[in-house]
Amino acid sequence: MKLAMGMATALLLAAGVGVSPQTPPTTVTAASTPASRAIDTLARDLERVESVREVKDLQRTYTHLSQFGQWNAMAALFADDGTLRWGDETATGRKAIKAWLKNDAGAMDGTRPGSLHTEIIDQPLVNLSVDGRTAKVRWDGMRFLGDGKGRARIEGGIYENEYVLKDRHWQIATLRYHPQYEGDYATGWTNVGGADLPIVPPHFTLDETGVPNPEPSGPAPRTRASARELADRIGRLNDEDTVRNLQNAYGYYVDRKMWTDVVDLFSADARFRIDGVGVYRGRDGVRRAMERMGPEGLTHGQLNDHPIFDLIVDVRPGGREAITRGIQIGMLGDADTKKGAWEFATFRNRFVKQGELWKLTEVHVQPLISADYAEGWGNGGTTSRADRAVPEFLKTPARQAVTTAARTHDAPSQNLTDLKRRLDRSHAYDGAENVSSAYGFTIDDFQWPWMAGIFAVNGNKQSPFAGYYFGRDRILGAVNASWGGPLPPDALRARISFHWLTQPVIMVSQDGRSATLRTRLFQPRTSKDGAPGFSGLHGGMYHNQAVLENGIWRLWTVTIDEHYYTSPTWAGGWASAEDPPPDAPKPPDSPLLTRYPPDIKLTELGEREEGFRGGTGTTITWPGILPMWFHYRNPVSGRTPERYWPDCVPCELRPETRMTAHGYQMPPTGPSVDGVDVNAN
């Protein structure tokens, strides 16, 4: 199987292959020139990448509408004959779907005073069909619900959805939700029905995890688009990737109270607005807004996480402005005082392109509910906006409009070979995210041959608390030694630790064949009996790399830094953690060190693994503050973080494990333009 976007450049000079999802098929005649066939092929490939993005944003829009009880608008996202399957319940057609959504929410609709209906659906694994007219996506999902009158619930599960292209718009054909865990806030969640949980059948094969956009078949239809129009649309995709990275990087800096790096991301005329609080202007104002959360830097016991979910990026015509919209969940508190808190909010931010670099220029946060962790949000929390206005939603411009909104600030290259390379870079973003999601889903279900198979032939993986293993056979051997063999498809599990890999910062090489990824580990755990540590949230950080190998995206390296916080009990959450006694023994070594020794032990990596369990120095456990590493410098100022490790973690000891030693380019590590590092403004 080959990636459509991974075809050799020479194919652009051959007859196009494929069926466009947007233009009726047209026979390519003998009179067609190589140049016309090349632009037809590029147009078709571009439409397919745009389709992958549109499908993701369609589902994200669903969650944005859900947060404000927009049942009619949510139902309108479905096809005329679309179906919603929620466990054993089914609704078909928009009218029935609207009624089901409204009835299911009841008083927990997000519109009544004190109510909450925040739904997050993230970690997409996308597979577009060969003809480009349908798509399938697997998602993780979680709902935070409350009626403002004492009731609060949490629910979570897996979505296996299908989408269809009709009348130039992507629509939900089937939303299929598989409930996994649920419970009232007071007691915490457990497995649905208190039963063992089955494996949700995947819609994809092993190789398809690295192929969000398969190679089409048949002749490419003729396109009406000019090279200039295609260049504008490809530029929009490239800018979308940059802005998405910038928004997600901002989130990580906020989590760690890195206020200097936060301020660096903003333009001089910045505006920071928090509804119900006020407006802060300029970079100094941004700093004051940040310091409402305390001085720079985390101290012992502090959790300041604000994970971002369902992020939509809209680059406006002209390519000088972009809007982002997403859902933010604050998990806050101080384990030293045993106080925890929740915050639910939406944000709608504005970015501008100054010179060659994108910068944040306006943040608008709309808080919905703040709640003490011990009490929860059932009664509306400690603060709830009774005058809650529905923020403006984002509607991606129609594709036809994008083609006619030429960028006036520059003259983009119309060289088809170079345009193809730039399109490959945006397709690489989707490929890297896809294989990252696949890693999470395969380890959730103990599908070890699949997990090992999504690595490159010369890839490497860290096994937690032990070390690194090189090559698929060794990776598979390590996980089998840790957990036993893979589970059969009909297996039932009493407990599951879910691995959401979200909020990606993905740096793509100039040639579009390699990428570095930073993703958040957002880890809900569940059990059928509410076992300690299996009814709450836990967090870590992945530092991964991915490469295009024989037309399929594979993981090159996986590093997990964990746990930055844990929830020892549901009742106390992350604020209930205690430091180990001074005389407590060191955490035991991983059994892998003797059972299946790694190729590189964590203890061999020196400072990079200092503080982490199995690494060097004194082990730091939550509520201690683990060091946090970054593979990139500040994407606007170029500021180097205190702990900076741009390449794969074992590369320093084993230079032969670098991507660059195997014919791949090193992606940019800071401010960049078109995959090349530049001097910061």
- Of 484, 479, 452, which is closest to residue 466 (Cα–Cα)? 479
Task: Enter the pTM of the model.
Answer: 0.93
282 lies in some domain:
no
pLDDT at 3 (0 to 100): 45
- Which residues, in sequence order, are CB contacts of 649 under 8 Å at separation 6+? 462, 468, 543, 557, 559, 605, 608
Bond into 24 cis (ω within 30) = no
* Domain contains 105: yes
Which residues have CB under 8 Å from 56's CB, separation 6+?
124, 126, 137
* Residue that has been written with the tokens 């009490």 in this structure: 375
pLDDT at 32: 56
Partners of 21 in the β-ladder = none
Residue 502, in any domain of the structure: no
Q: Residue 445: which of 501, 521, 497, 480 has the closest Cα?
A: 497
308 domain residue, yes or no = no
> Residue 146 is part of a domain; what is its CATH number?
3.10.450.50
Residue 194 lies in a domain: yes
- Classify the C-alpha dihedral 221-222-225-227 as positive or negative: positive
Distance CA(84)–CA(549), nearest Å, equals 37
In the structure encoding, which two tokens stand for residue 396, read together? Answer: 């991606």
- Burial code (b: 16+ CB inside 10 Å, e: under 16) for 230-240 equals bbbbbbbbbbb
| Residue 431 domain-assigned (yes or no) | no
- Residues in the chain, pLDDT under 70: 1-33, 384-388, 396-413, 680-681
- pLDDT for res 530: 87
Q: Dump pLDDT digits (tens) for 660-670.
A: 999 999 999 99
Predicted pLDDT of residue 391: 81
Residue 196 is assigned to a structural domain of this protein: yes
User: Rounded to an integer, what is the distance from CA 208 to the centroid of its chain?
Assistant: 19
Q: Does a structural domain hold residue 174?
A: yes
| Element holding 401 (H helix, E strand) | helix 399-404
The Cα–Cα gap between 657 and 617 comes to 26
Residue 278 contacts by C-beta under 8 Å, 6 or more apart in sequence? none
Position 90 scores a pLDDT of: 98
- Identify whether the C-beta of residue 446 lies closer than 8 Å to the C-beta of residue 483: yes
How far is Cα 560 from Cα 465, in angstroms, rounded to an integer? Answer: 10
Q: Which helix (H) or strand (E) holds 462?
A: strand 455-463
**For residue 82, what are the domain limits?**
53-215
22 phi and psi angles, rounded to 5 deg: -110, -25
Helix (H, G, I), strand (E, B) or coil at 68: coil
Count of domains forming the chain:
1
Residues 6+ apart with CB under 8 A from 127: 135, 136, 137, 203, 204, 208, 211, 212, 214
> Measuring CA to CA, which residue among 452, 460, 443, 457 is closest to residue 599?
460
DSSP one-letter string for 310-349:
EEEEEEPTTSSEEEEEEEEEEEEEETTTTEEEEEEEEEEE
DSSP string, 535-580: SSEEEEEEEEEEEEETTEEEEEEEEEEEEEE--S-TTTGGGG--PP
Exposure string for 33-62, b = 16+ CB within 10 A, e = fewer: eeeebbbbbbbbbbbbbbbbbbbbbbbbbb
Give pLDDT, residue 5. 42
CA distance 238 to 234: 6
